[in-house]
Amino acid sequence: MRKGVSRRAAALAAAILLQITAALTLAAAAPLRLVVAPERNAFDLQRQYRPIVDFLAATTGLAVFLDVLPDYTSAADLFAARQADGGFIGGYAYLAARRRGVAEPLARPVWRSGRAACRGCIVVRRDSGIENVAAMRGKRLILTGPGCTTGYFFPFFYLVNSGVSTPQRYFSQIVLAGSHDAALWSVFTGESDVGAVKDVVLRRMQAAYPAVAGAIQVVARSSEIPSICFVAGPSMPDPLRDRLRFLLLEMDKVRQGREALALFGARRFVATVDADFDLLRRMLAEFAAQGVGLDRPLFGEGDDGS
């Protein structure tokens, strides 16, 4: 048994080494331009994704550049204009790009928790006295930004399903933070009363800052949806798509890959297909059928300066 396992590991290692060898033929090719959703501040995101970027660069021979998107809605435009070849984006951003025929899902990470999914969380301070939607009336709400599944769409669905048809009239203030960590900090410091964040980011910040773990309480969670996904845009050639899919799915089988994954905060990558997003697709379709226009500001931002 042990001999069989070692042979499989050796075969996988040899396959990845072949990818590295083949990379020499791509050294003169155009660089690989990737983007990542602005879940947290740009410095932290660059630091987190750098090990994955470096691994892909080493195993393809390509120069790989990673840019943090300015918002959650611009990925589809960049892919369509061939200004980005692929990247790590969230569920709604993927579906928006898919509708335009400019994104194919390849893989998504399995985090240290063992999950390849995430949830949206509605958070408050433990000492706020806010335990339900009724207690949120007149409070200050902070979100991430339009196009963000967990930090924008989920809180809207949660509030509407709880009987709040016009959130902009229910809260005294609605602010767009731009990222999950900024929204969480705003609630932690008391600048906002209620916030919407992704559970993956929440756990990461609770681990890094014990005071956050002690002060923040989750009052609602969404259903699980696929975690941030690596997608290919139309400018990425099919052979490179296949190579990147292989490298991501098998990187946990070799030492260099495991080291990169550990620094990234994941166990491995798993294959991802369009059908994995059907639950989110049905949720969005349900609201569209009710006349909710998902392509407009849902919280009235811009109408009153918020």
CA atoms within 13 A of residue 76's CA, in its CB half-sphere = 15
pLDDT digits (tens, 9 = 90+) for 95-150: 999 999 999 999 999 999 999 999 999 999 999 999 999 999 999 999 999 889 89
Residue 253 has pLDDT above 50, yes or no: yes
Q: What superfamily in CATH does domain 12-116+227-272 come from? A: Periplasmic binding protein-like II (3.40.190.10)
Residue 258 has pLDDT above 90, yes or no: yes
d(CA 70, CA 47): 17
Structure tokens at 78: 């960049």
pLDDT of residue 165: 84
DSSP string spanning 49-61? HHHHHHHHHHHH-
Residue 305 has pLDDT above 50, yes or no: no
32 and 64 in contact (C-beta within 8 Å)?
yes
38 and 75 in contact (C-beta within 8 Å)?
no
Output 264 or 17, whichever has higher pLDDT: 264
pLDDT digits (tens, 9 = 90+) for 149-161: 899 989 998 998 8
Q: Which residues pair with 111 in a beta bridge?
A: 266
Q: Looking at residues 57-84, what average pLDDT do you find?
A: 96
Phi/psi of residue 124, nearest 5 degrees: -145, 170
pLDDT of residue 306: 35
pLDDT digits (tens, 9 = 90+) for 164-179: 988 989 999 999 999 9
Output 227 or 253, whichever has higher pLDDT: 253
Choosing among 3.40.50.1820, 3.20.20.70, 1.10.760.10, 3.40.190.10, the CATH entry for 117-222 is 3.40.190.10
Residue 25 has pLDDT above 60, yes or no: no
pLDDT of residue 28: 45
Give me the residue spans of the domains in the chain: 12-116+227-272, 117-222
Residue 289 has pLDDT above 70, yes or no: yes
Mean pLDDT of the chain: 89
Whether the predicted model's global pTM rises above the 0.85 cut: no
Radius of gyration of the chain (CA): 20
Phi/psi of residue 179, nearest 5 degrees: -150, 160
E strand or H helix at 230: strand 229-232
Environment class of residue 194 by beta-carbon count within 10 Å: exposed (0-12), middle (13-18) or buried (19+)?
buried
- The band of 26, judged by pLDDT with boundaries at 50, 70 and 90, is very low
pLDDT of residue 244: 97
d(CA 182, CA 137): 22
Residues with Cβ within 8 Å of 294's Cβ and at least 6 positions away in sequence, in order, are 153, 284, 287, 288
Q: Looking at residues 242-251, what average pLDDT do you find?
A: 97
Residue type, 45: L
pLDDT digits (tens, 9 = 90+) for 170-204: 999 999 999 999 999 999 999 999 999 999 999 99
